[in-house]
Amino acid sequence: MGVNIRGRSFLTLLDYSPAEIRYLLDLAAEFKRLKAAGVEHKWLSGKQVVLLFEKTSTRTRCAFEVGARDLGMGVTFLDPGSSQMGKKESLADTAKVLGRMYDGIEYRGFKQSVVEDLAKYSGVPVWNGLTDDFHPTQMLADMLTVREEFGELRGRKLTFFGDARNNVANSLMVVCSKLGMHYCACGPKDLMPADWLVEKCRAVAEETGAVIEMTDDPAQGAKDCDVAYTDIWLSMGEPAELWAKRIEMLLPYQVNRELMAMAKPNAIFLHCLPSFHDRETTIGEEIYQKFGLPAMEVTDDVFLGKQARQFDEAENRMHTIKAVMYATLK
Ligand code: CP
């Protein structure tokens, strides 16, 4: 029987089967082909979506907006200052109202429970655009990018270097386990994923043939690695006072030329972005002035080098988010 996820929310990839994830990747590849060929695909014409952002965004917001418009839908963007949610109106009431007006809701914010409650009370598909725990739409873009590079995903080793318990790293562990890949969490022992999530992913891995590895040794993380992945060292919502501690903990896991040289020769570099790879941002310059570091989680030579695929990955946010909206709303 074919895959059908119409009417479903997209809150975490733990809720999705390997076949459903592969279906979304295939659909995204088709949307990418249509867009490149200039073929109109307003297949959801007449529908309306709302995007709720309690945190800032470039890629996720733009991917949802462009994706929705390409599919022929109307889009409303709400930031924390422009809705009553949580201040004058409860989450449940807001969800019920939005569900009466919109066909789908995107949410980016803090607790995973908020996106789950939106889905529970709205009665329409809700898409997680990032919470403190998970970033599932990012994963589809990442996997599409890896698949474009290597073809088959099964057996490929993807190593996340850094804070291995942040929302991106958590989600990478989930998606790699679902797709039969070798996931390596490489970072300090104190920044490893939660036991409950590791146990869940290991149970999935038993079914799919995936491997889940944890190490605090960067050389071990880089060994046989096909995809070197990193993210900024302080997640959205964490206080700036943590920079000194994080730099001290994570500098050994910086993705630089020496680390890439220990990976497979044809390995690629991925980053969900934004990135502190130079001094061209306010924070990047402040960190340089305070700690003397010209780059943090990835050095400029790797970021600008031949193995870097982060801008393909960023473009793929749009194609994959379009696939999620289409498959759940069609
Ligand atoms: N990777 C990502 O989610 O980017 P934004 O924060 O810009 O949406």
Report yes or no on 56 lying in a domain. yes
Q: Say if residue 281 is in the same domain as residue 320.
A: no
In the predicted structure, residue 1 carries a pLDDT above the cut 80: no
In the predicted structure, residue 237 carries a pLDDT above the cut 90: no
Q: Per-residue pLDDT tens for 9-46?
A: 999 999 999 999 999 999 999 999 999 999 999 999 99
CB-CB neighbours of 100 under 10 Å: 10
Q: Say if residue 295 is in the same domain as residue 310.
A: yes
Q: Are 132 and 110 in contact (CB under 8 A)?
A: yes
46: domain CATH number? 3.40.50.1370
Q: Say if residue 215 is in the same domain as residue 303.
A: yes
Q: Say if residue 151 is in the same domain as residue 276.
A: yes
How many angstroms is it from 203 CA to the middle of ligand 1? 29
- Count how many domains the chain has: 2
Q: Which residues contact 190 (CB under 8 A, 6 or more apart)?
A: 249
Q: Are 126 and 73 in contact (CB under 8 A)?
A: no
Report, as an integer, the average pLDDT of 89-116.
Answer: 96
Active-site position among 163, 231, 254, 319: 231
**Alpha carbon distances (Å) from 40 to 191, 317, 329:** 45, 19, 18
Is 135 annotated in the active site?
yes
Q: Say if residue 191 is in the same domain as residue 61.
A: no
Q: What is the DSSP string of 21-44?
A: HHHHHHHHHHHHHHHHTT----TT
Is 231 annotated in the active site?
yes
Q: What angle do CA 119, 122, 128 make, to 5 degrees?
A: 35
Q: What is residue 130's three-state secondary structure? A: coil
Distance CA 181, CA 13 (A): 15
Q: Which residues pair with 269 in a beta bridge?
A: 228, 308
Q: Say if residue 231 is in the same domain as residue 288.
A: yes
Q: Which residues contact 48 (CB under 8 A, 6 or more apart)?
A: 73, 74, 75, 76, 101, 102, 103
Q: Say if residue 249 is in the same domain as residue 198.
A: yes
Model's pTM, two decimal places? 0.97
Q: Which helix (H) or strand (E) holds 202?
A: helix 195-208
Q: Which residues pair with 227 in a beta bridge?
A: 158, 268
Q: Say if residue 104 is in the same domain as residue 163.
A: no
Best residue among 55, 57, 310 to mutate for probing ligand 1, ranked by most atoms within 8 Å of CB: 57
Q: Say if residue 190 is in the same domain as residue 258.
A: yes
Active-site position among 59, 156, 165, 317: 317
Q: Say if residue 171 is in the same domain as residue 127.
A: no
In the predicted structure, residue 84 carries a pLDDT above the cut 80: yes
Distance CA 304, CA 187 (A): 23
Report yes or no on 8 lying in a domain. no
Tokens 């908020």 found at: 114
Dmax (CA) of the chain: 59
Whole-number pLDDT of residue 112 = 98
Q: Say if residue 104 is in the same domain as residue 181.
A: no
Cβ(270) – ligand 1 distance below 6 Å? no
Domain that holds residue 321: 13-134+315-329
Distance CA 186, CA 56 (A): 27
Q: Are 149 and 176 in contact (CB under 8 A)?
A: no
Q: Say if residue 243 is in the same domain as residue 320.
A: no
Whole-number pLDDT of residue 212 = 98
Q: Give me Rg for the CA atoms of the chain.
A: 19
209 falls in which pLDDT band (50, 70, 90)? very high
Give the strands of the sheet with 182-186, arranged side by side: 211-215, 182-186, 157-161, 227-230, 268-271
For CA atoms 16, 211, 222, 237, the dihedral sign is positive
Q: What is residue 89's three-state secondary structure? A: strand
Q: Per-residue pLDDT tens for 249-294?
A: 999 999 999 999 999 999 999 999 999 999 999 999 999 999 999 9
